[in-house]
Structures are given as C-alpha cells and as structure tokens.
Chains A and B, each alone.
Chain A
Amino acid sequence: MSGPYYDTKSLMSIQDDCERYATSVKLFDETRRITAQDVSSDFKARGLVLRSTSEKIGTSPTGLMKALKSNLGMPVDALALFAALYFSKSTHEMMFGESAVTVLPKHLGYVAKYISEADTSTVNALYGKVVDIVKDDYLKGPASTMKVPELIRNRLAEVAGDQNVPPAMLFGPNSPGALKTTVKKYFVTEDHVGNLNTLMYFAMSLGTSLDYFCVNDYTAMTTIGYRSKNRIVPVTNQIAVDFIRKYLRLSPERKSEILKTVWLSKLEMSA
C-alpha cells in the first residue's frame, strides 16, 4: 500500500472547525477509492480467503466483498480487526496510508505531560499508587466488554466534554449536518449503521487517528500525544504511555480515583 494520502499539518493549519471538517471530507473522498483498491489488491496478493476472513472479523462474506470493491465500508470493530489481523497495521494506517498521533483529551494530555516531565521518584510513587488502585480490575475492565456503539458514544462524549458542549453541538452552531445526524444516532436512536465515513471525517478534522473511535485501548496501536500551544506533542515516555493504557481499561469509578491520585500528587508536590 502506498501513502500518505494527505498532509496532517496542512489540514490542521485550518483554524475554522467546520472548514477543516469540509476539507477532511474532500480529502478522504479523493483518497478512499485508491485506498480500497490498494487493500483489495494486497488482499488478493496474500491469498486470503473471503469466507474465513469474514468469519474471523465478524462480517458476512458478501459484506466484506462489497467493502473491498468499494470504500472499505464496514463496522469499525470489524475494520480494526481486519487491519490488525491481516495487515498488522492500525486502522488509521490502513485507511489513510500514514500513521497519526492519537490526541488525548485535555485532562489525559495533562496527566501524560505531568508524568513525562516529573522526576523519577514522583513517577515511581504515583505508579505504585495506581497499581494498587488498578489491582484485578485491569483485565476485567471495559476493554473486553465495551461494545462499539458504546465505545463511540463514550468517545464522542469525551470530545464534547473536552469542549464543554453537549455532543450534539460539537463544532458549534454551524456544525456539519452529517456529524449532527451521526451524533443523534449514537445518543438518541442508538442506530449506528452507515456512520463510518462521518467518524473518519471527524477523526481527520480533529487531527487525531481513526483508532480513537475504533478501539478502546488506542495506545497499543498508535502513538499518543497532547496539544500544546496549537501543536501536537507525541508522548515518548513509556511510563506515561503505560499509565494511559491502564487508565483506558478501567471502569469509570476507578478512572476517577486515578485522576484524583494524579491531581493530589501534582498539588502535594507544590504544597
């Protein structure tokens, strides 16, 4: 597969949210046909069988065939599995031909930055506390149980919470109609058929990777990062990445407890 198909930096230089979203739509529409062709030819070259592949990723053979022939339109969980199992790539890499940094929500970005910059003794103390909190909840958490509509709903709510607006008002008064419809489907009718493209446009326009909406623990697939003064800083500190990974797999109560521990550590350091 070739790529990259678009330039993230020039896309993110567009300041207006709605304009950026519209540009994402154009960019994606231009490139998705090529992407699907690439994936399709690669699929054939590897000698993969339609029926067994579709069984493994949880779609019908006809659905997979149609997806390969058109624009890779399939449910996000199937797409994530397809990319990981057969191409050893993240969804974003497979779809867009380049890897992208998954931008953390503001508060998690703050946590990652704090851990990356703190001294070793503070990080060790904090990490010890977190391991105590996590205990057996780590593997039983929502990572293995969360269904895709719920995951996407949580992610959309997280993005909206970050901006302190209701999900329906993402991007403000001139929010794109397709995005409004998608959000309404996830939050009101709980019908999530045919929204993949909108989520892709949205992920692109946020400057984040598509994996943010596809898998619960996106740290395993992509590089994470945080926004700092209008630029995205990748998190290279492995302890910070591991910290975020643990956090993402926890139940909401434990998440709150973890955040409390971090805030306390930050304020105690300064008190």
Chain B
Amino acid sequence: MPRLGNELDPDIERAVYALISERIETDSPDVREIRMGLLADFKKKNKSLGYGHVTTKVVRYNTLPDFLQIAGINVAEMYKLVGVDICWGNPLAAKFCRNCSSLSQETLTKVKKLIFDISPPYWHSTDVRSMVPKDRVYLILQKRYSVAERRVVASDISPAVANFWVDRKKGTNIPYCEYPAIANKFDLSLHWLLGLDAPKFNQSSLVPLPGAKHPCTILCDTVEQETILNAFLFLSDELRESLSATLEELIEMGVKP
C-alpha cells in the first residue's frame, strides 16, 4: 500500500529498520555506539514527519541517503531486502559501466563532460533536478508517449503505476518498489528516476560507518559513474554504440589508472 507524499514504502522502511537492529546487535562496541547515536539523531530529526499529532518514524525521500547510511547499505541492497532484484535492463549500459570503472579519474571526468555536452539538456535542467520520482515518471510518460498510449504503458508496467496515472491529479504515489520496473520499461537509469542526482539527495550528511557502501549508488561503484550512466541512457542508440566502442578502444590502448 503506497503512502501519500514523498514517503518510503512501509515494507522497505520496516526491513531497513530490522537490518539496523540486527547490525546493532552484531556490531563491535565502538561501531554499535556510533550507529545507535546516528539512529537516535535520525529519529529525533524526523519525528515531526508523522501525520497530525502522531509521531511516527516515517522516512521521506530526502532523508533516504541518511537512513541507508545508518544501515550501511546502498539502494540496490535496500531493494534486495524486500525481494526486488535490480538487474541491468540494457546490456550496452552494463558494458559501458564496466568500461567506465577501468578508466582513470581524469579520463572519466572528460567522458562525463563529453556525454553531458551531447545529451539532451532537459533531463538535468534545474526544474527536473528538483522533481521527486513520481514527477519524473510523469515527465517521461508525457514526453515519450501520446495521450492515448500513456494509460496503456502505465498499465503494462504494473497495476500500481496504472493507478498512479489514473489518479495523478489527486497526488497518488507510486510505491518505491515499482521504480526498477519503470526504469527498465523506459530504458532509463534508476538512479535518475529515483531523483538521486539532485544535489541535496546524492549524498548523506552523516559520517560513513566502517565498511558501509555509498548509499546513493545502485549498479555502479561510484556516484560519478551513476551520473555518467544517467546521461548515457538519454543518448540515441547510435551515439550509445559509438561511445561504448570508444571506451573499449581506450581501454585496449591502455589508458588505465
């Protein structure tokens, strides 16, 4: 059952809280103390987010990086906790991302600039970067499909997305678990669709715990690679192929860290 507003699904929230409790039990005393401190702070900061006078522990999208940082997991692992496996929807994107991780930092920065220069500007405009996930789904449905097609496409993905499309003007939310399927259907990056490219969402304000992954990564190793992948998936097929071939050749030529 999706919640209203920009709130995380209760199933996911429950699973992550359970994981945090489990980790607190198994942690070494030093780490346990830090983790418990972070959790207490997090609950204290977010206690007013409940409905009316009831104080609940609702997690909103903008506090998700902090929440995952406390658990020491990233978005992909969060999905795994509730039985949603995230896989590469596009084989070329998987290859491209693998190649990106073999490049030096300097080359990677140049690749990022190149892709941003040739990709359409709308997806990283200021307006879009401040959009929440469901608004991004709405934007893509509007941009890519005609009025007649939108309802059909939404129904193809899942009943929850179809419901969102029908009730879109009443503020119906899309359950967080549905986004991987939507990203695959649109052939877009899940990172972009979840709004993790927005400056205030793409990193946690908390100090990382030992062994914790970056909370805002999904299929790539770093946030920079995720950002490059976001741009890559907004390119046309021809450009994707030529860029992928370029990276392969660069690696063959030995441009490595």
What is the CA–CA distance of A270 and B108 in the complex, to the nearest angstrom? 10
Q: In the assembly, what is the distance between CA of A246 and CA of B158, in Å?
A: 47
Cα–Cα distance between A266 and B111 once the two chains are bound (Å): 9
Is the Cβ of B107 less than 8 Å from the Cβ of A270?
yes
Instruction: Given A169-B143, A259-B242, verify A162-B120 contact (CB < 8 Å).
Output: yes
- Establish whether residues B118 and A106, one from each chain, have CB atoms under 8 Å apart when the complex forms: yes
Interface of B is mostly: helix
B245 and A260 contact, CB distance less than 8 A = yes
Residue on B nearest A258 in the bound complex, by CB: B242
Report the minimal beta-carbon distance from B232 to chain A, rounded to whole angstroms. 11
Task: Please tell me if A172 contacts chain B, counting CB pairs below 8 Å.
Answer: yes
Residue-wise, chain A 242-258 has the 8 Å CB interface mask toward B (1 for contact) of: 00000000001001100
The residues of A that contact B110 with a CB separation of less than 8 Å are 266-267, 270-271
**B147 to chain A: which residues have CB within 8 Å?**
173
Give the CA-CA distance A118 to B33 in the complex, in Å.
Answer: 57
Bound: A161/B235 CA distance, A: 8
A256 touches B241 (CB 8 A): yes
Is there an interface contact between A165 and B242, defined as CB atoms closer than 8 Å?
A: no
Cβ–Cβ < 8 Å partners of A163 in chain B: 120, 122
Closest to B188 in A: A164
Q: What's the tally of chain B residues with a CB closer than 8 Å to chain A?
A: 32
Judged by a CB distance under 8 angstroms, whether A168 is at the interface is yes
Q: Contact check, A263 vs B242: say whether CB atoms are below 8 A apart.
A: yes
Residue from the list A110, A166, A260 in contact with B246, Cβ < 8 A: A260
What sequence of 0s and 1s flags, for each residue 220-234 of chain B, a beta carbon within 8 Å of any chain A beta carbon?
000000000000001
B92 interface residue, CB < 8 Å from A? Answer: no
| A252 adjacent to B238 (CB under 8 Å) | yes
Contact A271 to B107, CB < 8 A, known contacts A161-B236, A260-B242: yes
A268 is an interface residue with CB less than 8 A from chain B? yes
0/1 string, A198-225, CB within 8 A of B gives 1:
0000000000000000000000000000
Interface residue ranges of A151-183 to B (CB < 8 Å): 161-166, 168-169, 172-173
Contact between A106 and B120, CB atoms less than 8 A apart: yes
For A107, give the chain B residue with the smallest CB separation. Answer: B118
A267 touches B246 (CB 8 A): yes
Known: A164-B119, A263-B114, A263-B243. 15 other contacts (CB 8 A): A106-B117, A106-B118, A107-B239, A110-B114, A110-B118, A165-B143, A166-B144, A169-B143, A256-B242, A256-B245, A260-B246, A267-B111, A267-B114, A267-B250, A271-B106
Interface residues of B (CB under 8 A from A): 104, 106-107, 110-111, 114, 117-120, 122-123, 142-147, 234-236, 238-239, 241-243, 245-246, 249-250, 253, 255
